[in-house]
Amino acid sequence: MGLLDLPYEILDLVIDLTLPSGLEGFVLSCKTVYRRSKSQIERHNALKKQWSYTTNANPTRRADTLSIIYKISQEPIIAQYIESLNLWDRRSLVDVRMSSDTYQFRDDEAAIKDIKSLLYSAEYFTKADPEEWWQSIVNEDSTDDSEDADKLYATIALLSLLPNLKTLQLPDRWHEVRNTEAAEALVPSIESLVSTSNSVGIRSKPLASLETIFPFVEEGYDVRVGLQCLQPFMVLKSIRNLYAVSCVAVNDDWGGIPFEWPSLSPKSPLTRLELACCCMDATALATLLANTPALTTFRYSHQTKWDGLEYDWNAGEFMETLANYCGEQLLDLAITIDELHGDVVNGLSSFMRFPKLQKLEVDVQAFCGPPLESGQRLGRNASIPEGARAWEYIDIPCMGDMLPKSICELHVNTDYPHPSEQALKALFKNIKDRRFDKLLLLQTVVIRQYRSSTAKDTAENLGITLEPFDESAAQPKPRSMMPQWKREFDRLVGGIVMTET
């Protein structure tokens, strides 16, 4: 019996079963199926429009993740339509419209029963104690919190229902799963959820399509969350991109938040890491890179954090670590500095260990320290080998001798004439010659100067484009937004302050 020989009632059921991912292809298979699919197509388009991008910013309640679970309990197919989920509700209470006329599902016994039935039947919760989970969700949801704070148990419950989720923005309390005793119990649940996603033979696996994680906190000197809280997601088989703001991974400083990779965790398939306004040392970076072998894009901006965390920063050691673990495959690299209260302990001195590098963006400040090979150090533990001449700005090597032949695009950000006029001039002293005899693929070279164009003559003499940043802006952006990659990051995912404070 052919498909079109089926009674229309059965054909309609077959069409229903193709929702959501198979409908569009199936209805185009023949005219008969297409004509029978009118109502399903209308429903599909409506669900896709309403739910493909979903947020917990309920008009009458802040960070109401449970309300999304309630909607799914009323129409389970909704879970399959959610592709982008934003759980970072940045509104304050004054932005929420309180209303006593709105239906409150929390007061409806039938609605609560539907939510419980949904979670109890979910495949993930067959491995857990559903009653214990439900009680934790209820307890957290009923907590008297003037800010209606994010509910972490509800977050994990929701994620366990979403097989087609592609992009995720976690709630701003997510870091608490790693640094509070009460939330520590959630860590095994997250790891179990990821394990379920990665397992073979489970149909409609949660998080099986998750490709990108977006930031969940803002930038700031006093904002720091452990990168460790994102580690479980890094091992998802589908994950490719991680964007983070204000994350800390510091193993060697007394006030740091360490980063570790569990011994039984597989390596990550991440290809892109963009870490804005973050605070990392080389030891933690080594742990991260040793377990992300597929990286081709790495962009990082350094920010000294609260209580002087990474007051001095070793850019040279940081770069050496990058070269050791991903130098052979990196195509796109950015190393910039948002805020550094101390010194660059050792400066950048070469990119020759990145033979495939095509695009590079750096701050001049990152070169303003003696190279690792000199044996010298700046900062609180400054040292100079006996008999050595103290490093000076004129000792910064020329960019033309530091770059691999593969480089196509170079952006250098400067506060010229600070910290020294010599720094910029030393960095580019023979770039003009190298572009003719070595760097034959280098088409774009930009010197970007903060709110000034006083380096114009220097740039023109070198045949380089000078790009003044916010030179005449009425409301200037902060210096930390001068790097091109930071502005691209903010346009794409947000989370970075864009106005001068």
Nearest in space to 391 (alpha carbons), one of 413, 405, 410, 372: 372
Interior CA angle at 179 toward 163 and 286, to 5°? 80
pLDDT given at position 26:
59
Q: Which residue has the higher pLDDT, 349 or 140?
A: 349
Q: Is the pLDDT of residue 498 over 50?
A: no
Binned at pLDDT 50, 70 and 90, residue 500 comes out as very low
Per-residue pLDDT reduced to its tens digit, 26-85: 555 565 555 656 667 777 788 889 999 999 998 888 889 999 999 999 999 999 999 999
Is residue 136 helix, strand or coil?
A: helix
Q: Which has the minimum average pLDDT: 11-15, 156-160, 344-348, 393-397? A: 11-15
| Residue whose tokens read 């004054």 | 94
Q: Is the pLDDT of residue 501 over 50?
A: no
C-alpha neighbours within 13 Å on the C-beta side of residue 3 = 13
Q: Is the pLDDT of residue 281 over 80?
A: yes
Per-residue pLDDT reduced to its tens digit, 349-382: 999 999 999 999 999 999 999 999 999 999 999 9
Q: Is the pLDDT of residue 473 over 80?
A: no
Cα–Cα distance measured from residue 73 to residue 59, given in angstroms and rounded to the nearest whole number = 20
Binned at pLDDT 50, 70 and 90, residue 167 comes out as very high
Q: What is the mean pLDDT of the chain?
A: 88
Q: Is the pLDDT of residue 250 over 80?
A: yes
Per-residue pLDDT reduced to its tens digit, 17-28: 555 665 565 555
- Neighbouring CB atoms inside 10 A of 442's CB total 20
pLDDT given at position 184:
67
Q: Is the pLDDT of residue 318 over 60?
A: yes
Per-residue pLDDT reduced to its tens digit, 86-136: 999 888 777 777 666 678 899 999 999 999 999 988 877 767 778 888 998
**Residue spans per domain, the chain:** 3-51
Cα–Cα distance measured from residue 95 to residue 458, given in angstroms and rounded to the nearest whole number = 50
pTM over 0.85: yes
Contacts of 287 (CB under 8 A, 6+ apart): 249, 251, 259, 260, 261
Cα–Cα distance measured from residue 63 to residue 152, given in angstroms and rounded to the nearest whole number = 11
Cα–Cα distance measured from residue 400 to residue 402, given in angstroms and rounded to the nearest whole number = 6
Q: Is the pLDDT of residue 180 over 80?
A: no
Q: Which has the minimum average pLDDT: 62-71, 202-211, 333-342? A: 202-211
Nearest in space to 407 (alpha carbons), one of 388, 424, 431: 431
